Chain A
Amino acid sequence: AQSVTQPDIHITVSEGASLELRCNYSYGATPYLFWYVQSPGQGLQLLLKYFSGDTLVQGIKGFEAEFKRSQSSFNLRKPSVHWSDAAEYFCAVEGTYKYIFGTGTRLKVLA
């Protein structure tokens, strides 16, 4: 069955520290993968997406993600977190005619 798992419900990091949010997927073919961010009181905004090609993809706001087929993972990273990055992050995979979202990881940033 197609699914997305985000193992970390909450993550807390200090401002300026590096960040990695985990995402594992289950999909029979080559997956199309997305990371979205939801700021408080806002809708979801696309950070980046992977369709094919280079397995390291760059997104907006300084985020990047790496597709690792052998590990069925698509982890999101940022070298230095800013206080404004505090939000909820969702990983998603394109399923059959629809998207499958993970349950989200809520990021807290300490000053």
Chain B
Amino acid sequence: DADVTQTPRNRITKTGKRIMLECSQTKGHDRMYWYRQDPGLGLRLIYYSFDVKDINKGEISDGYSVSRQAQAKFSLSLESAIPNQTALYFCATSDPSSAHLETQYFGPGTRLLVL
């Protein structure tokens, strides 16, 4: 079984709809991240969480919210989806080593299309 799973893998929705993307991990990592990937722009950080009680905005958090329900679960919500949120969304986890971040482990991605 995959260490980092994302559901759904693909989603089509309409403008104005609320949608939630879910991420679960079995790696036991405290740190979790949500990124979006757009062609030519690479990966951009939306939100990150260093533990269940810690949520931080990334560089492009507007229009998004997150919930860290447990160490293993980190959900991303689009309260009112808009077409420019069409993208590939990745969840990732990491296990910090000393004062620095360790390798990030990525889920398979969720492809979202907002019509």
Contact = CB atoms under 8 A, between A and B. Distances in A.
What interface size band does chain A fall in? 20 to 34
A99 B90 contact: no
Contacts, number: 52
B53 interface: no
A46 B42 CA distance: 15
Contact count band on B: 20 to 34
Main secondary structure of the interface of B (DSSP, over half): strand
B101 A97 contact: yes
Interface in A71-111: 90, 94, 97-99, 101-104
Q: Which 6 A-B pairs have the closest CB atoms?
A: A43-B106, A103-B42, A44-B106, A101-B43, A101-B42, A43-B108
Interface of A: 9, 32, 34, 36, 41-46, 49, 51, 90, 94, 97-99, 101-104
